Amino acid sequence: MTDESPTVEASTYLAPYKIALLSLITLYCEGYIPRKERMNVISKILPYIDLFGREQTYGLTDKSNKNGDQGEVENGLNLPLSELKQLIGADNMSTMPGRTIYELVLEKVWQLNSLDAFHTFMYSLRSYITSGKPEDLNDERAMKLGLSKLLSSSSILGSFFRKSGLAFDYLSFEDFSSLWRALVSYRNETFSDYKHIHAPEFEEIYDELQQDLVVHDVDIQGFLENDYIRNMVNLEIGESSAGPKILFIANQDLEYLLEYQVEAFENYGGPMPHYLRETLNEMIRRDVMVPSSAYYVRYLEAYHDKDYERSYELLHQYFDYTMYNRDRTFYQYALFTLAGFQASFKCHTECLRATEEAIAVARENKDIPCLHYILSWLYGFLKDNPRLADEFYNKSFTSDEHLLQFLKTKSKDVSPGLHATAHQCEAAHAAADLGNVSAAMESIVKSSYINMTLNKSNKVVELIVLLSAIWGRLGLPRMANIYLDSYFETPSDYRDGKSDITARILKAEILYDQGELFEAEKILDELEASTKGSPVDYEMWLPHLLLIQAKTCLSKNRLSDAQVRIDQLSRQSITSTSLEMDIEHCRIRLLVAQGNTSLALEQLSNFIHTRVESGADIMFQIKFRILYARIVYRVSNPSRALSLTMKCIAMAEKAIIIPLALEATCLLSDILNSLEQYTDALAIMDATMPRIFECSSNELVADSYASLADSNMGIVGKVSLEENYNDDEEENDVVTSTYSTISGSKIEIRLPSRKTLLYRTKTYLEEAGHRYHKSRNYKAMGEMGVKMILVKRLIAELEKKIAKSKCRTSHNIDSEQYTSFQQESEKREKSINDLTDWCMGVLERIQKQ
């Protein structure tokens, strides 16, 4: 066979490999396939016959190799006889003694010794089919034809025969003869096998050149001796034939393959298989009619390569070919797709124009389902781009709620899927805008119920994202985790690539929030490995990874690294608003960490005015305000910070965003500490600790421990300042202290003893340090360390004092004992001093960095 690439020709349905399959099935009808092999053989070839089986054929390979390679794709378009041989088993014997099934198939195929024989074979297909009524199944006809079986026209094999027969009827003579030539070229590879079957007949002819004439009808052999004529009709026989290799493609196969490819593209991205691309190019080059979905595949390819110009052109090309299809026009879909396309390239105004026209055209054509799809998509789009929303709502719908209401009420009649989406939108809306949580939950349940009845798995992740957002607001990330984990436990067949990526990113974020940084980064790294090289996927997960890395760097106090990440992020095109907000949040935190507090404050207040207050998610509104309060507190204006924080707490409480409320509370206690209102701070923190634990965020817990420790220390300081040292301290955990109130009356309050307080502080610091370590907040950890040393020193001093006083009071201890005790305590003191110095050094270094 020549090395040059094969010529590509196409027909609607038939292809040479289907002729081989038809031959095999006629063998089955003629009773040559033994009873015990029937199931085996027929089930093996079924994927090549049946549409549903076909998906399986592709499906088998796509998990292991999403990008596809040559062999696999050719499988969808062709089944060489050699592969058929493997498929049905080379040694499977038929009922004809001494012959394998494969040999009989070969014989059938090679018996087609002329175009006419081929025609007769194709024409005879209809005689294998029966109407399917039970009385017809074993009628006389079968007996007459010598068939052991007839095919019911409604069976899979029967419909394959029927379709082949119909396709044959529609073939023009030219197409038919090119199919015949393709068949000749297709079977050529098995010429030696065929010769082997008929060895004696071929051995009689010694001349190699004459051998191939044997396989032709006697009547036309005379012509074929003439090389020129033989060339004209392209009937070279034998493996070494010089004729061009013909790849004859059934357009229907190609369409299936392309549809599969579209799906693969939309789900996984990845480059188009080389072989498919070559075939398509060859077809276009030779002016063979290509199914219009080919253009769509090419569009998707260009789109994935982020080639705006090319994909824009290809999109138009595709829709120009498909505008009028099956008595329907697709103008609105074209516009809708265009809108989506423009949106993804961030051409928002263009996108809105396209959408408006799409809505107008859909209305004009009374295509209600499409209209709903467009509106539902638009709703989501406008949610992500609140600035565009104002512009749009001024024109058409009065508000997003209006639009949502419209969708919710009308979509029910259009499609249940859309109805589910509408409910989902409502839930999202409720979650975003201070809505009623129970109403949101209700909508989610409705939506998921509809999805479940529709058996749609692709919406699950969207629901999980929504749910986790709601649970996250309620400060119960564990609940979100439950859904995610159950999602990951579903078999991978039911998940598609895009949802998978979203779910994993979500998981990583939740883990990060809980302070499980290792885990979070691990998940994102895995994601990087599993989505090799697809630019769209890359775009999906990369910002998240960068953001998490930046946050981590910030905690680790590696400010320059964090800066690098933030710079990288600013170069990315970020489509999601929430991500954008998160990045901005992180950037300002970085500014603060770098010491640019004034700049940070300025930018932050700017940002809050321009972006946050105009329709951003309430969560971000609070988040940025807390940050603002924190900075204000840092630049030592605690009283102003106090009022800001109080406001934040009120807002968060109203919007039921628990984690933020807790964060603000924690900040409040810090502020109180700095205002030396230690007992108040302690009281607040004591009350909120259970909720904070519920939140299971390491950072928050650590912060609150730190705050608790500060309060405790403050109290210790106060106690030691205000009242005399009580010798009974060691016996009692509680000391009675007298506070003078404003009215002058003296109230006795019982405070924990100094020792208890110190030990408690120590525990708190340990906890905080441990938590900070977990969330890799090394800076805070260092601080805790230093504080810890101070506390330990105090404890040591205290113990020393107690020991001294004990010695003094009891006089029971001999002088030797006392000396050793003193030495020991001095040693301990020294080591603590050294440690303190070292720690201070470390802290300084950290701060310098």
Partner 1 sequence: MSKKYVRYNSLNSGNSIGTLFSSLGYETDRFMLAKSYFDCREYYRCAFHLKDCKSPKAVFLKLYAKYIAGEKKKEEDSEGILKPKDGITSNTELITIIKELDDYFTKYDTEDPFLLYMYGIIMSKKKNEKLAISKLIKSVSLYPYNWSVWMELLSCIKSYELLCEIIPKLPKHIMTKFFILTANQEFFQPMQNLQGLIQELDRIFPDLPFLVVQKALINYHNLNYTESEATFDQVIKKDPHRLDDMDTYSNILYVMEMKSKLAFLAQLSSATDKFRPETCCIVANYYSLKSEHEKAIMYYRRALTLNRDCLSAWTLMGHEFVELKNSHAAIESYRRAIDANNKDFRAWYGLGQAYEVLDMHYYSLYYYQRAAALKSMDPRMWQALGNCYDKLERFDDAIKAYKRALQVSEMDPLILFRLGILNEKIQDMKSAAFYMKTCLQEEQNEGVTDETSKARLWLARYELNLSNWEQAQMYASNLIHGTPHEIEEARAIVRDTRSRIESERRDSFINR
In the complex, least distance from residue 217 CB atom to partner 1, rounded to whole angstroms: 4
Give the integer Cα–Cα distance in Å for 255 and 42: 24
Q: Which stretch binds partner 1 (CB under 8 A): 22-30, 195-203, 231-239, 435-443?
A: 231-239
CB 308 within 8 A of CB 106: no
* Contact letters for partner 1, residues 739-768 (x by CB under 8 A): ------------------------------
Name the phi and psi angles at 574, rounded to 5. -100, 125
Distance (Å) of CA 498 to CA 268, 269, 390, 539: 7, 9, 30, 12
Q: Which stretch binds partner 1 (CB under 8 A): 214-222, 417-425, 618-626, 672-680?
A: 214-222
CA 729 to chain centre: 61
In the complex, least distance from residue 113 CB atom to partner 1, rounded to whole angstroms: 8
In the complex, least distance from residue 297 CB atom to partner 1, rounded to whole angstroms: 32
Residue 51 or residue 229: which is nearer to partner 1 going by CB?
A: 229
Choice from 114, 329, 405, 763 touching partner 1 (CB under 8 A): 114
Residue 172 or residue 815: which is nearer to partner 1 going by CB?
A: 172
- The CA-based diameter of the chain, rounded to the nearest angstrom, is 135
Residue 220 or residue 441: which is nearer to partner 1 going by CB?
A: 220
* Contact letters for partner 1, residues 175-204 (x by CB under 8 A): --x--x------------------------
In the complex, least distance from residue 82 CB atom to partner 1, rounded to whole angstroms: 27
- Beta bridge partners of residue 749, listed in sequence order: 737
Q: If binding is defined by CB under 8 A, does position 44 make contact with partner 1?
A: no
Choice from 113, 329, 594, 596 touching partner 1 (CB under 8 A): 113
Residue 122 or residue 420: which is nearer to partner 1 going by CB?
A: 122
Q: Which stretch binds partner 1 (CB under 8 A): 232-240, 412-420, 508-516, 652-660?
A: 232-240
Residue 218 or residue 687: which is nearer to partner 1 going by CB?
A: 218
Choice from 139, 192, 223, 838 touching partner 1 (CB under 8 A): 223
In the complex, least distance from residue 408 CB atom to partner 1, rounded to whole angstroms: 55
Residue 220 or residue 559: which is nearer to partner 1 going by CB?
A: 220
| Helix axis angle, 173-187 to 101-111, nearest 10° | 140
Residue 117 or residue 795: which is nearer to partner 1 going by CB?
A: 117
Q: If binding is defined by CB under 8 A, does position 116 make contact with partner 1?
A: yes
Question: Residues touching partner 1: how many (CB under 8 A)?
Answer: 23
Residue 66 or residue 216: which is nearer to partner 1 going by CB?
A: 216
Interface of this chain with partner 1, residues 233 to 262, rule: CB under 8 A:
233-234
In the complex, least distance from residue 240 CB atom to partner 1, rounded to whole angstroms: 23
Residue 117 or residue 579: which is nearer to partner 1 going by CB?
A: 117
* Contact letters for partner 1, residues 120-139 (x by CB under 8 A): x--x----------------
Residue 119 or residue 773: which is nearer to partner 1 going by CB?
A: 119
Choice from 59, 222, 595, 841 touching partner 1 (CB under 8 A): 222
504 CB contacts (<8 Å, ≥6 apart)?
Answer: 523, 524, 526, 527, 541
Give the integer Cα–Cα distance in Å for 465 and 497: 16
Residue 679 burial (C-beta neighbours within 10 Å; 0-12, 13-18, 19+): middle
Task: Kindly state the tokens that stand for 602.
Answer: 């300025």
Give the integer Cα–Cα distance in Å for 773 and 791: 19
Q: If binding is defined by CB under 8 A, does position 334 make contact with partner 1?
A: no
Cα separation of the two ends of the chain: 70
CA 580 to chain centre: 19
Give the integer Cα–Cα distance in Å for 600 and 445: 42
In the complex, least distance from residue 117 CB atom to partner 1, rounded to whole angstroms: 7
In the complex, least distance from residue 235 CB atom to partner 1, rounded to whole angstroms: 9
Q: Which stretch binds partner 1 (CB under 8 A): 109-117, 344-352, 476-484, 486-494?
A: 109-117
DSSP track, 354-392: HHHHHHHHHHHTT-HHHHHHHHHHHHHHHHH-HHHHHHH
CB 71 within 8 A of CB 274: no
Residue 229 or residue 599: which is nearer to partner 1 going by CB?
A: 229
Query: 474-506 b/e with 16+ CB inside 10 Å = b?
Result: bbbbeebbebbeebeeeeeeebbbbbbbbbbbb
Residue 683 burial (C-beta neighbours within 10 Å; 0-12, 13-18, 19+): middle
Choice from 4, 64, 228, 366 touching partner 1 (CB under 8 A): 228
Q: Which stretch binds partner 1 (CB under 8 A): 222-230, 264-272, 285-293, 608-616?
A: 222-230
Residue found under tokens 């014997």: 93
In the complex, least distance from residue 172 CB atom to partner 1, rounded to whole angstroms: 8
Q: Which stretch binds partner 1 (CB under 8 A): 213-221, 241-249, 700-708, 757-765?
A: 213-221
Mapped onto helix, strand or coil, the DSSP state of residue 674 is: helix
Give the integer Cα–Cα distance in Å for 463 and 499: 11
- Beta bridge partners of residue 151, listed in sequence order: 129
Residue 169 or residue 826: which is nearer to partner 1 going by CB?
A: 169
Q: Which stretch binds partner 1 (CB under 8 A): 108-116, 331-339, 366-374, 752-760?
A: 108-116
129 CB contacts (<8 Å, ≥6 apart)?
Answer: 150, 151, 152, 153, 158, 161, 162, 165
Which amino acid appears at position 347 of this protein? C
Query: 353-371 b/e with 16+ CB inside 10 Å = b?
Result: ebbbbbbebbeeeebeebb
Choice from 39, 205, 209, 229 touching partner 1 (CB under 8 A): 229
Give the integer Cα–Cα distance in Å for 754 and 293: 79
Residue 230 or residue 459: which is nearer to partner 1 going by CB?
A: 230
Residue 206 or residue 228: which is nearer to partner 1 going by CB?
A: 228
Give the integer Cα–Cα distance in Å for 99 and 90: 11
Choice from 51, 90, 143, 232 touching partner 1 (CB under 8 A): 232
Interface of this chain with partner 1, residues 147 to 176, rule: CB under 8 A:
173-174
- Beta bridge partners of residue 735, listed in sequence order: 751
In the complex, least distance from residue 279 CB atom to partner 1, rounded to whole angstroms: 25
In the complex, least distance from residue 171 CB atom to partner 1, rounded to whole angstroms: 9
Give the integer Cα–Cα distance in Å for 801 and 788: 20
Residue 233 or residue 846: which is nearer to partner 1 going by CB?
A: 233
In the complex, least distance from residue 184 CB atom to partner 1, rounded to whole angstroms: 11
Q: Which stretch binds partner 1 (CB under 8 A): 215-223, 436-444, 758-766, 776-784?
A: 215-223
H-helix or E-strand spanning residue 11: strand 7-11
Give the integer Cα–Cα distance in Å for 565 and 549: 7
CB 132 within 8 A of CB 156: no
Q: Which of 388, 270, 340, 346 is nearest to 572 (CA)?
A: 346
Q: Which of 702, 169, 13 is nearest to 21 (CA)?
A: 13
Q: Which stretch binds partner 1 (CB under 8 A): 23-31, 115-123, 139-147, 817-825?
A: 115-123
Q: If binding is defined by CB under 8 A, does position 111 make contact with partner 1?
A: no
Choice from 42, 117, 347, 683 touching partner 1 (CB under 8 A): 117
Give the integer Cα–Cα distance in Å for 160 and 49: 7
Contact residues: partner 1, CB under 8 A: 113-117, 119-120, 123, 173-174, 177, 180, 217, 219-220, 222-223, 226, 228-229, 232-234
